[in-house]
Structure 1
Amino acid sequence: MVRLGIVGFGIMGERLLRAALTHEEVRPVALWDPSPAAATRLAEVAPGLPMLDSASAVIEACDALYIASPPSSHIPHAEAAFAAGRAVFLEKPLASDLADARRFVAGAESSGARAAVNYPMASSPAVAQLSAWRAEIGSPRTLSITADFAAWPRSWQMGAASWLSKRADGGFTREVLSHFLFLTRRQLGALTLLDRDATFPEGDGAETAVRATLMAGATPVALRGGVGTTTADEANEWRLACEAGSIRLRDWSFAEKREADGSFRPAPDAIPNAEMRPMVLRGQLSKLARLTKGERVDLATLREALEVQEVVEAILVG
């Protein structure tokens, strides 16, 4: 069993912990979060699992460290874990500062550190279905990516609004569109940003709208996102048109293929994201266990996460 430590017990820390509690290859051993409310919640979710008094204590107790704290703390925690010989699983973005992220990735690669980034689409059954369909519909022609939100942060993220709502570290482009850019990179090739535009409110608030055109390998990509553009909490779509048909990923988990009448039909086993998410996180944890043991896995690499972050930050340039 790989001993898992967690730094940061917000939404993502809790989700991964719940997936790890019954996992066959991973055993949670310790957490750290400076918030008293996090300790109270941990006692409800996993009675008996210790909330230690520092990140360094968690690093000492674990084989693999999951870092789900705010972005500005990612690199210090990761580098401390590397120094102790631990494997690291990070949330995105890698850092608040792009230059720091580049330095961090170069150092981790040169040292051979065991590390990956939690882009769950690396273990998504819906993405696997898209990949299978691609073999049937020929070469890609165009890709469109859209993300719409009633408000930002989303209703279930208000506990982290202190940074998610701010221009420095938050916003839906970093938090949501980055996932679809990772998917695009995996499916179609290296990303090149051609032009972009971003709208911000007065003050230090996160973006309210973005638009960009890119190339992913040889495929043109049109990207758009906005706040106040839907009445739903959120709606998103990744749609790929190919020479013999079109496929899409809708609302995170619905893989759909276009029929002759123009409508999109979901895969027979498609399920809502709330049901798929625990399955995907368990798959991520299985891969993390193998990574910790020195095996090759297809989790998102630090380099892939850096490439996505570079595009995201270029879109958000004022």
Structure 2
Amino acid sequence: MPTTDAPLALGIIGAGIMGERLLNAIHGAPDSPVRVSAIWDPAPDALDRIAAAFPAVPRVADAAAVVATSGCVYVASPPASHLGYARAALTAGRSVFCEKPLAIDLSEARAFVAEAGTAGGVNFPFASSPGVAAIARWIEAGAIGTPRRLAIAVAFARWPRPWQQDAARWLDARDEGGFTREVVSHFLFLARRLLGPLQDVRGRVDFPEAGRSERAIDVTLTAGGLPVTLTGRVGATAADDHNTWTLEGDTGAVRLRDWAIAERRGPDGRFEPEPDAIPNERLRPITLRRQIEGVVRMARGEPHHLATFAEALAVQEAVEAILAL
């Protein structure tokens, strides 16, 4: 696609939490490099909510109309529908920015990645996170010495989280939902991008309620050959969502806390945040705007920092290996 300074026409399929967050990020920027060409969701109440919050955004009759009006399509629908919409967009010559996972069936995800080429990216926001950038700088500067081990821990008061209750039907379903797919996948993406391939998954997963998603995981794996411990619990914290990604080396340690806060371990053993660190509620729109910049580069065929389809598939392979334990 030729380079142009005109805003990218971005269509959105799915008017749920993620679709609305992207709209907020786009409309919260004074000079956004994209314009929303259309949005569609099969739920009329979801489109009504968008109409009230963003009256200037065109609402169309179906997914095909979104594809027809767009240069790039953002697929923000539930996972079972991702591939159908992504394939339709790619067939029409559009680029695709998709939520994870690519599909709920690994064989279908593998086939899609084999056929899709490079005209797409997946929304792993850690690819654009200032907190992650700080962690990467520290590692490159030698703050931890030689990396030795990684620990990932996630915890939730309940699942789904309170702000996800409208999507609880699929978010708490064993075949499509769960915190390992929804949350742990982000931290596995970070491990893979900074450390290397995810392999040798072992451990235990607890599914105490028939048909519902997991409530606990205790897993080991490797990332680029480094040992990784991964734990997750529902009901083990009073917080809606608490997480840490902690990389230890032979001379120090760094961690990302609660999605956003980059911290280094000091001589006294305590972790201290980067001076400019801000909580996720304030960081999220900044990160999403950086993701949008990556979407524009991707749609123009330029180098970009977004998660590729291949990276997303590698993360999904690890996630499904965990859930199959």
In the TM superposition, 1:184-195 aligns within 5 A as 184-195=191-202
Q: Paired residue for 2:305?
A: 298
Q: Which runs of 5+ in 2 are unaligned?
A: 1-6
Q: Paired residue for 2:145?
A: 138
- Work out whether 1:75 is the aligned partner of 2:83: yes
Q: Paired residue for 2:21?
A: 15
Q: Paired residue for 2:67?
A: 59
In the TM superposition, 1:138-217 aligns within 5 A as 138-217=145-224
Query: How far, CA to CA, are the matches of 1:195 and 1:203 in structure 2?
Result: 23
Q: Could you tell me how far 1:304 is from its partner in structure 2? A: 0.6
Q: Paired residue for 1:115?
A: 120
In the TM superposition, 1:9-48 aligns within 5 A as 9-21=15-27, 22=29, 23-48=31-56
SS at match of 2:93: coil
Q: Could you tell me how far 1:48 is from its partner in structure 2? A: 2.5
Q: Could you tell me how far 1:218 is from its partner in structure 2? A: 2.1
Query: How far, CA to CA, are the matches of 2:78 and 2:200 in structure 1?
Result: 26
Q: Which runs of 5+ in 1 are unaligned?
A: none
Moved over 4 A (4+): none
Q: Which amino acid aligns with 1:119?
A: F
- Work out whether 1:224 is the aligned partner of 2:206: no
Query: How far, CA to CA, are the matches of 1:194 and 1:79 in structure 2?
Result: 30
Name whichever of 56-65 and 18-27 sits farther off. 18-27
Query: How far, CA to CA, are the matches of 1:193 and 1:16 in structure 2?
Result: 35
* Percent pairwise identity: 52
Query: How far, CA to CA, are the matches of 1:92 and 1:293 in structure 2?
Result: 22
Q: Paired residue for 1:103?
A: 111
- Work out whether 1:91 is the aligned partner of 2:96: no
2:292 aligned to which of 280, 285, 294:
285
In the TM superposition, 1:250-269 aligns within 5 A as 250-269=257-276
SS at match of 1:202: coil
Query: How far, CA to CA, are the matches of 1:138 and 1:254 in structure 2?
Result: 21
Q: Could you tell me how far 1:204 is from its partner in structure 2? A: 0.4
Query: How far, CA to CA, are the matches of 1:213 and 1:298 in structure 2?
Result: 28
Query: How far, CA to CA, are the matches of 2:108 and 2:225 in structure 1?
Result: 30
Q: Could you tell me how far 1:217 is from its partner in structure 2? A: 1.0
Q: Could you tell me how far 1:270 is from its partner in structure 2? A: 0.4
Query: How far, CA to CA, are the matches of 1:24 and 1:100 in structure 2?
Result: 34
1:131-165 deviation digits (Å, cap 9, x = unpaired):
11112221100100000000000011001001001
**Alpha carbons 1:180, 1:238 under 8 Å: kept:** yes
Q: Which amino acid aligns with 2:100?
A: K
**Alpha carbons 2:156, 2:240 under 8 Å: kept:** yes
Query: How far, CA to CA, are the matches of 2:209 and 2:220 in structure 1?
Result: 25
Q: Could you tell me how far 1:194 is from its partner in structure 2? A: 3.4
1:25-49 deviation digits (Å, cap 9, x = unpaired):
1111100101111111111221121
SS at match of 2:145: coil
**Alpha carbons 1:4, 1:30 under 8 Å: kept:** yes
1:92-122 deviation digits (Å, cap 9, x = unpaired):
011011110000000113xxx4100000000
Query: How far, CA to CA, are the matches of 2:113 and 2:51 in structure 1?
Result: 35
TM-score by length of structure 2 reads 0.95
Query: How far, CA to CA, are the matches of 1:71 and 1:279 in structure 2?
Result: 25
Name whichever of 223-232 and 45-54 sits farther off. 45-54
**Alpha carbons 2:201, 2:318 under 8 Å: kept:** no
Q: Kindly report the root-mean-square deviation, in angstroms, between the aligned alpha carbons of the 2 structures.
A: 0.9
